[in-house]
């Protein structure tokens, strides 16, 4: 699926302690590879149990660099390295008003809520009803009053909480949806996978400078599910 070989589903046997040990090793690996740099993102990745967001039948593979299918039509929980890769690029930090398009498992949203802290706010939108219910159930085990889950088309953004300091799309667009650029604050950053052809996607970082000028740079090649909805592929 999506260019990765997913291991066959099987019941989870690992203990909480084993998962915590694997989480520490993964964080050390991401630092060594240069994906993880800031202490605030490192602390959040050590704190949040990613295994809680991975479906039971794939849970023992939680800390491998693999995406796993979620309930819903085209939903996955992304590879572990993709979270610091996105969040470091936009410099997600304490106090940010953050918008995520593509809630998926809820892991990225919880990580972000931990990073922005009580002075920040996270709004995450999911278009697939079954995926939304899955994430909502996972997230209900945590207490993050600064995290808001919205079911709908994230390409349109969410005006009631705009303007945003940082925006992240976790599904690949062809053109960055104009409402998202409109809802990004001046000085804000948006990151998204963008399809450059049928077979290739670039991870691009958009910065809205003070005064409104837009600057876009390409970071690297990636592989993500396609954005759906009004601005979908």
Q: What residues are annotated to the active site?
A: 78
Binding mask 127-146 for ligand SAM (x = CB under 6 A): xx--x---------------
Contact region with ligand SAM (CB under 6 A), list: 23-31, 40-48, 74-82, 140-148: 74-82
Is cis: bond before 163, omega within 30 of 0? Answer: yes
41 binds ligand SAM (CB under 6 A): no
| Alpha helices per DSSP H over the chain | 16-32, 39-47, 82-89, 107-116, 129-139, 178-183
Contact region with ligand SAM (CB under 6 A), list: 18-26, 56-64, 200-208, 221-229: 221-229
CB of 209 to ligand SAM, least distance (A): 26
228 binds ligand SAM (CB under 6 A): yes
76 binds ligand SAM (CB under 6 A): yes
With beta carbons less than 8 A apart as the criterion, state whether 182 and 212 touch.
no
- Calpha distance 40→52 (Å, rounded): 21
Residues 6+ apart with CB under 8 A from 228: 74, 127, 128, 153, 171
183 binds ligand SAM (CB under 6 A): no
Residue of 54, 77, 184, 190 interacting with ligand SAM (CB under 6 A): 77
CB of 163 to ligand SAM, least distance (A): 19
Report angle CA 177, 178, 180 to the nearest 5 degrees: 75
- Calpha distance 101→81 (Å, rounded): 18
> How many other C-beta atoms can be found within 10 angstroms of the C-beta atom of residue 89?
18
In this structure, the strands spanning 214-222 and 200-208 are antiparallel
Residue of 80, 84, 102, 188 interacting with ligand SAM (CB under 6 A): 102
Residue of 35, 126, 139, 201 interacting with ligand SAM (CB under 6 A): 126
* Chain positions contacting ligand SAM, by CB under 6 A: 72, 74-78, 101-102, 104-105, 107-108, 125-128, 131, 153-155, 170-171, 224-225, 227-229, 232
């Amino acid at each position: 699926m999506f260019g990765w070989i997913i291991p066959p589903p099987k019941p989870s046997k690992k203990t909480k302690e084993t998962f915590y040990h694997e989480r520490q090793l993964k964080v050390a690996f991401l630092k060594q590879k240069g994906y993880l740099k800031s202490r605030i993102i490192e602390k959040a990745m050590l704190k949040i149990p990613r295994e809680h967001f991975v479906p039971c039948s794939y849970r023992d593979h939680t800390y491998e660099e693999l995406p796993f299918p979620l309930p819903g039509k085209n939903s996955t929980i992304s590879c572990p390295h993709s979270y610091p890769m996105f969040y470091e690029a936009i410099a997600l930090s304490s106090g940010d008003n953050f918008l995520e398009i593509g809630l998926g498992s809820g892991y990225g949203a919880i990580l972000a809520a931990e990073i922005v802290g009580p002075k920040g706010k996270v709004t995450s939108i999911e278009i697939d009803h079954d995926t939304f219910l899955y994430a909502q159930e996972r997230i209900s085990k945590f207490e993050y009053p600064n995290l808001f889950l919205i079911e709908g088309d994230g390409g349109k953004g969410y005006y009631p909480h705009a303007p945003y300091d940082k925006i992240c799309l976790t599904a690949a667009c062809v053109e960055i949806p104009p409402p998202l650029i409109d809802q990004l604050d001046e000085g804000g950053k948006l990151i998204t996978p963008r399809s450059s052809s049928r077979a290739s996607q670039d991870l691009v970082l958009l910065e809205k400078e003070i005064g409104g000028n837009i600057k876009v740079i390409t970071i690297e090649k990636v592989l993500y599910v396609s954005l759906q909805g009004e601005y979908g592929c």
